[in-house]
Amino acid sequence: MASFTRTYSDQDLRLLLQMVVDEAVAEHALTQAEYDRAREQHGYADTPRAKYIAKRLGQSWTKLAAQAFQQQAARPDAAREEHAGRRAPSEIISQAAVKHALATILRRLDQDEMSAIQYERERQALIAAAADKEEAYALDEALPSAQRLQAVYKTWAGVCEAAGIKAPEGSTAKGPRSHTNPGSYDLAACQEAMLKALKWAAENERELTQRAYQEYAGSREGIPSLNAMQGILKREELGSFADYRSSVQTMRLKHKL
């Protein structure tokens, strides 16, 4: 249990619980034994068992499982069916696959460079236009998500370097640079900062609220301030700080970053 305390914050545990329940697509609130089996079946075998989650969060498993089931059940039927019938893409992403994926999207955009959000929007549009589930799966396999690519190459600039294309201005394959000017940061810098802040929060058993992020960023160089990050999120239409924290947190837990 000690290793879980060092690795996962309470926020992480709640999200993990919901991720497992969502992927299991159960028709009732999972028992502890059912949850433990589901976490192994869906790729979360190295995460805490149900009894440890309940103990850490200080709530009964019955209540936690019911809350997670209600959230899963609240999704539209079509979304649940699509999730249940979806095959997971391959875990292996070769450099040739990266080159093909980025070249495909660049041709559609008629550009010679693009941001992660531009890539992801065009990729999702292609998959949404698929004729059937099999074609959608093939496209998802051929065009890995921006999150999956960045989980392998650490930053979007690193992805571009692997693909042999020009990286967006202001990014670097080695990670965000130590600029104090908020305008020098990009989405890749925000993602790396959020990943590091989430790890810091988990290690200190804290929730990564906006105030906690300000504390983290204020004592470190080369980290976007809260205002800088919110400005980038607004520009890229990625929602609030909380929305972005949840999406990066999901990626961190899913890919064990």
DSSP characters for 195-253?
A: HHHHHHHHHTT----HHHHHHHHHTSTT---HHHHHHHHHHTT---HHHHHHHHHHHHH
At 51 the pLDDT is 93
- Cα dihedral sign for 80, 18, 223, 149? negative
For 142-163, the DSSP string reads: HS--HHHHHHHHSSHHHHHHHH
At 173 the pLDDT is 43
Q: What is the pTM of this model?
A: 0.46
The secondary structure of the chain in percent helix, strand, coil, rounded to multiples of 5, reads 65, 0, 35
What is the C-alpha separation between 167 and 114, in angstroms, rounded? 7
At 184 the pLDDT is 61
What is the C-alpha separation between 158 and 151, in angstroms, rounded? 10
Q: Convert the pLDDT of each residue in 176-223 to its tens digit.
A: 333 334 456 788 888 888 988 988 888 877 888 888 888 888 767 778
What is the C-alpha separation between 217 and 117, in angstroms, rounded? 23
Q: Convert the pLDDT of each residue in 67-121 to its tens digit.
A: 988 887 776 554 444 444 455 555 568 888 899 999 999 999 888 888 877 888 8
The chain-wide mean pLDDT, for the chain, equals: 79
Q: Convert the pLDDT of each residue in 123-173 to its tens digit.
A: 888 888 888 888 888 888 889 887 778 777 777 888 899 999 988 765 544
